[in-house]
Amino acid sequence: MEETYRLGCDIGGTFTDFVLVNTLTGQFHTNKCLTTPSDPSDAVEHGIRQMIETIPQLQNGFMDRVEEVIHGTTLVINAIIERKGAKTGLITTKGFRDVLELGREIRYDAYDIFSQYPAPIVPRALRMEIDERITADGRVLKEVEEREVLEVLDRFKGTGIESLAVCFINSYENPVNERKIKEIIEAKAPDLFLSTSFEVLPQIREYERSCTTAVNAYVKPITFRYLNKLTARLGTMGFSGKLFIMLSSGGITSVATAREFPVRIIESGPTAAVIASQYYGRMFGIRDMFCFDMGGTTAKSCLIQKGHAGLVSTFEVGRVQRFKKGSGLPIQVPVVDLMEIGAGGGSIAKINSLGLLGVGPESAGADPGPACYALGGENPTVTDADLVLGYLDPDFFLGGSMPLDMELSKQAILKKIAVPLGTTLVEAAFGIHDLINETMAAAAKTHIAEKGGNPASITMSAFGGAGPVHAYGLARKIGAKTILVPPLAGVGSALGFFTAPVAFDLSRSHRVGLDGADFKEVESLFAELEEESATILADAAKGKQILFERTLLMRFKGQGAETDLGIENKPFDAFSRQDIRTLFDTEYKRLYGRTYKDTPVELVTFKVRASLPKRPFSIPKLTHTNRDINRCIKGERPAFSMVQKAYIPFTVYDRSRLFPGARIQGPAIIEERESTIVMGEDADARVDEFGFIWIEFKGEKTHE
């Protein structure tokens, strides 16, 4: 059989990661290069060419034998945060022009009189109204008039808008007016990128729907151009397979769908690490895992319970106050329940206004990067602190392809932190490292507690270039007893792409009381969603069976939030009203401790996930014949002990030489090309048959 490949490519804020898997042998090849913020596709091409030049087995090229490229990118979220999207206009119902500014009229911090809010993604001057109206039950009170639409388009002329969002009141219930305006705009202004709310988000809540549709329009032109350019560049390198894009919901989709709905790929990179962690949990039969992914720019986490990572329907981007809910732009699309718990390796350490040490949220990124990159960065970062503490080898960063400058790190920490605080270099460096761990621990404890989890009973999985460096310190602070570091953890998101299904989620709101609901009508609605989602997956399916999962969002009448209920995929009219009520009461009681059986409930939103069957993927077993742990030792170097608060000798191991059954006693540092594992003297580690490293704190039961 001819060798073919699958390529995972994840663009992060600092590094772009690559994992190439041989579909015949299961062998992995990896690479990591600096991200190019001005044009992310530059880093993609550069990283692929690096692999061809540096990996002997690939020197004859491989792109012509790649069946699929799976891609995750921070392009969309960066464009929103940095406000570098396209100039966008909004057309809405008369009287609703200011929805984006009014929001929910809730103060996210009741006691902060100086609290700020994110500026609307579309300024007021570019928001236009049309005199149309649909009632809450879908009746048409006033139709769209073509004359008025043409007048609005005429007013947009000269404003320089490139993209247009359309969001009418109650269009989720009946999109007839949005459909009509779409036809007019496509005929009269075909050069405009268009986003309509009935296609982007046909759900209740006018503010969230308007904001999500506007954000989709805001990033649509840059996403369209980027994906077209990336497709062309891959083509010039010989690629003729399929290009898939990672969705925030944990599935992957086609380029065409990602171009049309770029708001769905905002969290595409971090999501992949969670999907990988979920896969490993099922692989080892672990019910509860805490996925910890720390890269160069941010650290994110997700609590996986009973083998599943939760999905949420709303999240925020571009927060004014990074960790304060309500201070960002609400995006109402399915997304894995991620929580940002801290900064990344490139996060800048500084003295704050109170004269105290602070770390982040500003990041040195890839350009100029931490001081030790010697690319012009002068600010001390977490990576600089880790280098000074001995956790990183300056001559083996990225396998030695990117040497680090220890002296530049020392100078930056001394000048910006140690001298102003009146401390030593070592105290300042450990202060940076420990503060970021403490910040992440506080957020992680809150995240786990909110989900009803117990840190003492979870297994922490560490991903990202900086994740394995900080996992030991974080685990000590939150009380986790086991750390799992998978193979290729430093490029874990790129590897996680291979474990994600081809899938797409659709939803539609239709409020109706359970007692008065027409179950045949509900079944028709579900059937429409399944047909629409199947059409989206048609190109990728190519005759494969499409699987469907159904979800109901229900609430008590008068309640402001819904409860998600997964339901059996059978005709809805095969359920009885009591079946649905029992399902709701059971889940509500599980979540909140009690329910109210005499209070009427209503159906609000209906969701369908369409997916293709799981694709074959497995981690190959280690084949090393070496059984001598001494042959895995690279040497010894002094590093800072968190227990003794002093430099002590750490034994340094080469992860690529480790064999099944190998046991390592702390203090130890385990190095591989993409990341470094740090383990103190109060922990031991073992290697399993697949190369996973299990770290246990001494005195704790080893995972079997």
Q: Are residues 592 and 564 in the same domain?
A: yes
Domain membership flag for residue 639? no
Q: Are residues 252 and 274 in the same domain?
A: no
Domain membership flag for residue 704? no
Q: Which residues of 654-677 are buried (b: 16+ CB within 10 A; e: fewer)?
A: ebeebbeebebebbbbbbbbbbbb
Q: What is the pLDDT of residues 605-629, one digit of tens each?
A: 999 999 988 777 788 888 877 788 9
Q: Are residues 260 and 271 in the same domain?
A: no
| pLDDT for the residue 686 | 95
| pLDDT for the residue 2 | 73
Q: What is the mean pLDDT of residues 500-520?
A: 91
Domain membership flag for residue 149? yes
Distance in angstroms (rounded) separating the CA atoms of residues 259 and 225: 9
Q: Are residues 136 and 187 in the same domain?
A: yes
Average pLDDT, the chain: 89
Domain membership flag for residue 518? yes
Cα torsion for 299, 305, 306, 310, to the nearest 10°?
-80
Domain membership flag for residue 637? no
Q: How far is CA 72 from CA 76, 120, 235, in A?
A: 10, 26, 18
Q: What is the mean pLDDT of residues 495-509?
A: 88
Question: 190-199, 601-610, 626-635: lowest mean pLDDT where?
Answer: 626-635
| pLDDT for the residue 701 | 43
Residue 183 has pLDDT above 60, yes or no: yes
Q: Are residues 344 and 327 in the same domain?
A: yes
Dmax (CA) for the chain in angstroms is 82
Domain membership flag for residue 564? yes
For tokens 């083996």, name the residue: 396
Q: Which residue has the higher pLDDT, 313 or 10?
A: 10
3-state secondary structure of 660: coil
Domain count, the chain: 4
Residue 174 has pLDDT above 80, yes or no: yes
What is the CATH classification number for the domain harbouring 182?
3.40.1360
| pLDDT for the residue 464 | 87
- Helices (H), ranges, 237-356: 255-260, 268-284
Is omega for the bond preceding 380 within 30 degrees of 0, making it cis?
Answer: no
Q: With CA atoms as reference, report the closest residue to 456 among 422, 436, 479.
A: 479
Domain end call among 611, 642, 659: 611
Q: With CA atoms as reference, report the closest residue to 118 among 304, 340, 328.
A: 328
- Quickly state the pLDDT bin for 342 (edges 50, 70, 90): low
| pLDDT for the residue 1 | 57
Q: Are residues 478 and 585 in the same domain?
A: no
Distance in angstroms (rounded) separating the CA atoms of residues 508 and 178: 15
Phi and psi angles of residue 437, each rounded to the nearest 5 degrees, phi first: -65, -40
- Quickly state the pLDDT bin for 338 (edges 50, 70, 90): confident
Phi and psi angles of residue 262, each rounded to the nearest 5 degrees, phi first: -65, -20
Q: What is the mean pLDDT of residues 181-198?
A: 95
Residue 81, judged by CB atoms within 10 A of its CB (0-12, 13-18, 19+), counts as: middle
What's the whole-model pTM score?
0.85
For tokens 């003729």, name the residue: 240
What is the CATH classification number for the domain harbouring 596?
3.30.1490
Q: Which residues, at least 6 apart from 478, have a Cβ–Cβ distance to it below 8 Å?
A: 441, 444, 445, 448, 455
What is the CATH classification number for the domain harbouring 280?
3.30.420.190
DSSP string, 462-505: EESSSHHHHHHHHHHHHT--EEEE-TTGGGHHHHHGGGS-BEEE
Q: How far is CA 388 from CA 413, 476, 623, 666, in A?
A: 9, 21, 36, 20
Domain end call among 576, 611, 646: 611
- Quickly state the pLDDT bin for 397 (edges 50, 70, 90): confident
Q: What is the mean pLDDT of residues 159-177?
A: 95
Q: Are residues 428 and 493 in the same domain?
A: yes
Q: Are residues 536 and 476 in the same domain?
A: no
Q: Which residue has the higher pLDDT, 321 or 73?
A: 73
> For residue 557, what are the domain limits?
503-611
Domain membership flag for residue 667? no
Q: What is the mean pLDDT of residues 203-230?
A: 94
Distance in angstroms (rounded) separating the CA atoms of residues 393 and 403: 9
Q: What is the mean pLDDT of residues 169-177?
A: 94
Domain end call among 501, 526, 554: 501
Task: Assess contact for 266 and 335: CB atoms under 8 A.
Answer: yes
Q: Are residues 273 and 353 in the same domain?
A: yes
Q: Are residues 372 and 463 in the same domain?
A: yes
Q: What is the pLDDT of residues 241-292, one digit of tens each?
A: 999 999 988 888 889 999 999 999 988 877 888 888 989 998 999 988 999 9
| pLDDT for the residue 55 | 85
Pairing of strands 289-294, 459-463: parallel
Question: 316-325, 586-595, 605-614: lowest mean pLDDT where?
Answer: 316-325
Q: Are residues 364 and 478 in the same domain?
A: yes
Q: What is the percent of the chain with per-residue pLDDT over 90, rounded to a whole number? A: 59
Q: Are residues 299 and 431 in the same domain?
A: yes
| pLDDT for the residue 703 | 39
Q: What is the percent of the chain with per-residue pLDDT over 70, rounded to a whole number? A: 99
Domain membership flag for residue 628? no
